[in-house]
Amino acid sequence: MDVIKTQQISSRPIEKVIVHPLVLLSIVDNYNRVAKDTRKRVVGVLLGTSFKGTVDVTSSYAVPFEEDEKDPTIWFLDHNYHESMFSMFKRINAKEHVVGWYSTGPKLRENDLDIHRLFHNYVPNPVLVIIDVQPKELGIPTKSYYDVEEVKENATQKSQKVFVHVPSEIAAHEVEEIGVEHLLRDVKDATISTLATELDLNNEKGSVCIHLGLMHRLTALSGKHLELMNFKSLILDCDVFNLLPNLNVNELIKAFAVKTNDMMLVIYLSSLIRSVIALHNLINNKMLNKEHEKAEDAKPATIQAAS
């Protein structure tokens, strides 16, 4: 069995973990296909980069995983599948390395430290990102951890590994933002404003979150700020709201559509350019891998000739 060499990634303490939307979509898709409507969880490998204490998780893939619900010490993770997948991912993007693993928890479990110890074979300081695929409240659905050695005050007691929580956030490149926007876009009706569609509670479940967020901001606005305002200021605020455009006017809808199409054209051209550059980098990466393989194959012949 081929063993993946430990990546040369900084082993300094991790200060922040950045998770990209593509990773979240991949994990949710894996959960819906494997463990939906069950008590099981899914486990996979996180790929990305690490620099100055910040781990940037840009990609991921699922790994076959089984565990005994009654005995948490009994679990299985397919190493061969992981190593085969990583070798294929490396051919596509050599800059991405193994930075840790993910679990759909939704909380830490007893055998997580044992699984985490396994990933020390691939990266000096791996991270564990727990994704809550069924969040019950608003907020970031990720919790990140890394392990440290806990030294006991009593010298007779052995030190042990413990998880330490690290802040995490969601970030995306421009191309990812466009892709997520297209995935979340519903069937468009040009005669109805986007805001009115999003605030329709009967339209989408996700609009409930938008509605709650808007109500929270309006409640904060109607607090001390309005109490301190005088009558003249209140009239000016009403005038501001009355000056907002009526998005049901056909001329305004057409103008917005033309402006949006112009912006989308620029974004589309930018995406094409990025795709061409990515394909160019992929070809260069493949050529470098072939040269590296030829150099590795030539080493034994050189050694035999020297002997």
pLDDT digit string, tens, across residues 239-286: 777 777 777 778 888 888 888 899 899 889 988 999 999 999 999 998
Residue 151 has pLDDT above 80, yes or no: no
Give the range with max mean pLDDT: 126-140, 144-158, 174-188.
126-140
pLDDT-derived band at 234, boundaries 50, 70, 90: low
> Quick count: other Cβ atoms within 10 Å of Cβ 234?
11
Question: Comparing 44-58, 64-78, 174-188, 193-207, which segment has the lowest mean pLDDT?
Answer: 193-207
pLDDT at 188: 46
Higher local confidence (pLDDT), 208 or 83: 83
Dig out the tokens for 67 from the structure: 């565990």
The answer to whether residue 264 is domain-embedded is no
pLDDT at 257: 86
pLDDT at 92: 85
Residue 202 has pLDDT above 60, yes or no: no
Cis omega before residue 167 (within 30°)? no
The answer to whether residue 4 is domain-embedded is no
The answer to whether residue 302 is domain-embedded is no
Residue 214 has pLDDT above 50, yes or no: yes
pLDDT at 42: 94
Residue 194 Cα distances to 189, 190, 198, 245, 265, angstroms: 8, 9, 6, 13, 20
Q: Give the contacts of 191 (CB within 8 A, at least 6 positions apart).
A: 248, 253
pLDDT-derived band at 196, boundaries 50, 70, 90: very low
Dig out the tokens for 166 from the structure: 């690290």
pLDDT at 250: 83
Three-class SS of 228-255 = HCCHHHHHHHHHHHHCCCCCCCHHHHHH
Task: Name the phi and psi angles at 258, rounded to 5.
Answer: -65, -45
The answer to whether residue 277 is domain-embedded is no
Find the Cα–Cα–Cα–Cα dihedral 115, 3, 127, 55, rounded to 10°: -170
pLDDT at 163: 92
pLDDT at 198: 42
Q: What is the pTM of this model?
A: 0.58
CATH of the domain at 53: 3.40.140.10
Residue 107 has pLDDT above 50, yes or no: yes
pLDDT at 219: 59
Higher local confidence (pLDDT), 225 or 169: 169
Long-range contacts of the stretch 291-299 (C-beta < 8 A, 24+): none
Buried b (16+ CB within 10 A) or exposed e, 265-293: eeeeeeeeeeeeeeeeeeeebeeeeeeee
The answer to whether residue 151 is domain-embedded is yes
Residue 294 has pLDDT above 80, yes or no: yes
Place of tokens 């299985």: 76
Residue 299 has pLDDT above 50, yes or no: yes
The answer to whether residue 297 is domain-embedded is no
The answer to whether residue 217 is domain-embedded is no
pLDDT at 4: 45
pLDDT at 6: 39
Tell me how far the alpha carbon of residue 200 is from its chain's centroid: 28
pLDDT at 43: 95
pLDDT-derived band at 191, boundaries 50, 70, 90: very low
Domain hosting 76: range is 16-172
Averaged pLDDT for residues 46-63? 93
Averaged pLDDT for residues 194-202? 42
Q: How many domains does the chain have?
A: 1
The answer to whether residue 135 is domain-embedded is yes
What is the C-alpha to C-alpha distance for residues 204 and 200, in angstroms, rounded to an integer?
8
